[in-house]
A and B are shown apart, each in its own frame.
Chain A
Amino acid sequence: MDFNDTPEEAAYRAQVREWLEANAPKRAHQPDLEGDGRSMTASKAWQAKKAAAGYAQITWPKEWGGQGGNPIQQVIFNQEEANYPVPPNPFQIGLGMCVPTVATFADDETKKRFVGPALRGEEIWCQLFSEPSGGSDVAAARTKAVRAPDGSGDWLISGQKVWTTGAQFSDFGIVVCRTNPDAPKHKGLTMFWLDMHDPGVEVKPIHQMSGGSGFNEVFFTDVRVKDSQRLGAVDDGWKVSLVTLMNERLAVGGASGAGWTEFMAAARDLPGLDGAPALKDQALREKLADWYVQAEGLKHTRNRTMTALSRGQTPGPESSIGKIVSALQMQDLGNTALEMLDQFGIIDDPELAPLRGAFHTSVMFAPGLRIAGGTDEILKNIIAERVLGLPGDIRVDKDVAFKDMPTGR
């Protein structure tokens, strides 16, 4: 049991450090907590640099522009990259989920057309799965694709997607559509890739409760796609989407922002009961200890995952607990900090609030994090079913034709 790299890992880390020191930005970028694209120019420039050096997708094969490396090398790069003020990465959904799906199901020519530009950050991809009628229940998608009446074999896509991350910057997307409403819901879906600049595609940023707009509604009106843009067989889209979603857990991160260290610093400086520092308040100290223990538990759970990767093993189920713990902690810690400020806690002005309002940001962003990329409840289902092996829920819609499924509205 030790925290050291193997000699090979140490050599790789040294190589990465040298490259980052020579190439990574040294000055802080504009913060982009809400993912509204204010750092896009910087993000694209950094991505191009990484791609040219083979660091954009280390585990991809060399002919795609990767290094044919292993996951631990990617983790090492991510760790080292985090030591520099690099701009946010709006390419991960495309590179982690969409492009691998296209590469798995499209012909060589299509693959060749898209892989390079995506890798270099020249083209951005989005994943069009969630709908107003189905967030957790992705297979309930209603957006439909029908054959064009002109006999060309083309498809016409109409409907609406929602919560699409980065759609407002995206050039392409993969979309799951209803192609057979007479079949049960999982058996009537088909996957396509499409051009987000098509005049039939309308993107409307969602005004989040946190104030920002990182997600979008996307409307399709008779968007014509060629049959060659189909990914996988007709009505086999659910299986294709599983390939995409398998990669999602790796793409959606845990909570960031103010943690126990920031809370402790704030508690030291603020007055508590009887004028003593708030940090002397026993109730706050117990909470602080709990958050520390959770944060350390997650950190060392990641170390266990790293160990599995380092040995060439698939990480175990331990990697599935991160967001459940960290998103809830973000909400609880932020709110406790507000309560520690007492009446002053209502002020959300960065000029006045501690840490320029970081605790307020946590409170307002945490509800979204508890939902995005699998709600707390769905993640618990995943642990219960895939980790513990408990039965799936009773599916009352399992053998019902999609068109006959009961809907609320």
Chain B
Amino acid sequence: MNFDFSDDQKALKSEARRFLEANASAERVRKVLDDPAKAYDEALWKAVGEQGWLGAAIPEEYGGLGLGHLELCVIAEELGRAVAPIPFASTVYFVAEAVMLAGSAEQKSDLLPKIAAGEIIGCMATSEGPGITTAATLKSTVSDGKLTGVKLPVTDGDIAGVALVLAKENSKPGLFLVDLDGAGVTREALKTMDPTRDAARLIFKDAPARRVGGAGEGMELVEQVLDRAAVLLAFEQCGGADRCLEMAKAYALERYAFGRVIASYQAIKHKLADMYVKNELGRSNAYYGAWALNTGAPELPVAASAARIAASEAFWFASKENIQTHGGIGFTWEMDCHLYYRRSRQLGLVAGAPRVWKERLVSHLERRNAA
């Protein structure tokens, strides 16, 4: 039994933490938060690229480090802990993963080296409005290699160079790569709940589109990409949730009320213990997801669903109860609590809400038990 990261992977994690403490401090994150014109931290993005993190799981033949997904998981945890204001998830967990999973040799050679080098930002465009996007509701269409339709919200759609778009071709869903700087693309930035992560409305009118994977395989492919992204996002959520617990603990130990530190009251102690329990359940499920992702195990869809559900719950709970532990000061703009609260909503929704994943999980369990 070796259900833990290796010493090398732990060293990478420590290195990532040191790097982000120096390069993605709360002060730096706030520069993106407070400036509506600033979509992301470009200097941090460049530095992260120089560290090689963007290509951690990309094979060396495509310009990556060729490490593996476990290495990507430990980096993800630290990015979540730092609420890093960069388009890492969109580019790496969604677009790079989709291209590695289903891209043609030409698509891989074209995109993966650019992603690994930090030369291009990617985004995932499935949603078309409020509610869940299904094959039945999908409106965007591709015909003769040209995409027409409207996608919103698309996280990082305002800054990305390439989008992965779900659209119907001959009435069947497919997944398509679209050059966002090419013809037929209009973008409008949207106001988001977490301004450290931007989003856009993408309007396509006869924009050239290249299909990824087989015709009509769009929904299946999106599910596979989501499973991979869910595991990596779960590590970001675990990182954020642990940081919330640390913040709550540190504050409770220094704040006095009624003549003693509030950390000595059971109402606060039990709240923090509840946070700890949820964080551990999130972490253990995320570890199993990491194992399944890294080994390509058939358990991945179930493991990823469990990781997403547990980690989303942990981060949401920790981020809201962190504010509660801080009391009034936690409700101010100046305290960092809301950075995590906002990010917990961004991460909890960007790959589909937990209730969607609960349905997916039970469907998988039904199929597994029927088999």
A interface vs B, CB < 8 Å?
1-5, 9, 72, 261, 264-265, 279, 282, 285-286, 288-290, 292-294, 296-301, 303-304, 306-308, 310, 318, 321, 324-325, 377, 379-381, 383-385, 387-394
Contacts and interface: CB of A to CB of B under 8 A. Distances in A.
A331 B273 CA distance: 20
B215 interface: no
Contact of B276 (A264, A288, A300, A388): A388
Contacts of B2: 1-4, 307, 310
Contacts of B290: 1
A384 B272 contact: yes
**Which of B249, B284, B361 counts the most A-chain CB atoms under 10 A from its CB?**
B284
B277 A300 contact: no
B274 interface: yes
A5 B263 CA distance: 42
A387 B253 CA distance: 14
Contacts of A390: 249, 252-253, 263-264, 268-269, 272
Contact of A391 (B264, B270, B313, B369): B264
A325 B281 contact: yes
B355 interface: yes
A286 B358 contact: yes
Nearest to B265: A393
A387 B276 contact: yes
Interface in B297-346: 305-306, 309-310, 313
A381 B269 contact: yes
B269 A301 contact: no
- Looking at chain B's contact residues, the main secondary structure is helix
Contact of B3 (A307, A381, A393): A307
A321 B358 CA distance: 23
Interface string B81-109: 00000000000000000000000000000
Interface of B: 1-6, 70, 245, 249, 252-253, 260-261, 263-264, 266, 268-270, 272-274, 276-277, 280-282, 284-285, 287-288, 290-291, 294-295, 305-306, 309-310, 313, 355, 357-359, 361-362, 365-366, 369
**Which of A288, A292, A307 counts the most B-chain CB atoms under 10 A from its CB?**
A292
Given A289-B309, A300-B3, A321 B291 contact: no
28 contacts: A1-B70, A2-B295, A3-B1, A3-B3, A4-B2, A72-B1, A264-B369, A282-B359, A293-B285, A293-B306, A297-B285, A297-B310, A298-B281, A298-B284, A300-B284, A301-B280, A303-B3, A303-B284, A306-B3, A307-B4, A318-B284, A379-B273, A380-B274, A381-B270, A388-B269, A390-B249, A390-B272, A391-B253
Contacts of B245: 388
Given A388-B249, A391-B264, A292 B306 contact: yes
Given A290-B358, A393-B264, A321 B276 contact: yes
B81 to A, nearest CB: 17
Contact of A293 (B277, B310, B359, B366): B310
Contacts of B274: 380
A42 to B, nearest CB: 31
Contacts of A381: 266, 269-270, 273
Contacts of B357: 289
Contacts, number: 151
A296 B291 CA distance: 14
Nearest to B288: A300
Nearest to A381: B269
A324 B361 CA distance: 24
Contacts of A325: 277, 281
A303 B274 CA distance: 21
**Which of A301, A383, A388 counts the most B-chain CB atoms under 10 A from its CB?**
A388
B150 to A, nearest CB: 29
- Looking at chain A's contact residues, the main secondary structure is helix
Nearest to A325: B277
A289 B361 contact: yes
B273 A391 contact: no
**Which of B291, B294, B362 counts the most A-chain CB atoms under 10 A from its CB?**
B362
Given A285-B358, A393-B264, 11 more contacts: A1-B70, A9-B1, A296-B285, A297-B282, A300-B3, A318-B284, A321-B277, A383-B276, A388-B273, A390-B268, A391-B264
Contacts of A318: 280, 284
Contacts of B369: 261, 264-265
Nearest to B359: A285
A303 B1 CA distance: 7
A380 B281 contact: no
Contacts of A377: 266, 270
A304 B287 contact: yes
B352 to A, nearest CB: 13
Nearest to A324: B277
Contacts of A385: 269
A301 B362 contact: no
B272 A388 contact: yes
Given A279-B366, A380-B269, A384-B273, A293 B281 contact: yes
B11 to A, nearest CB: 15
A383 B277 contact: yes
Contacts of A293: 281, 285, 306, 309-310, 313, 361
A300 B309 CA distance: 15
B261 A391 contact: yes
Given A301-B281, A301-B284, A380 B270 contact: yes
Contact of A288 (B277, B306, B362): B362
Contacts of A304: 3-4, 284, 287
Contacts of A303: 1, 3, 284, 287
- Which 9 pairs show the lowest CB-CB distances between chains A and B? A297-B281, A289-B358, A384-B269, A300-B284, A380-B273, A303-B3, A383-B273, A391-B264, A301-B284
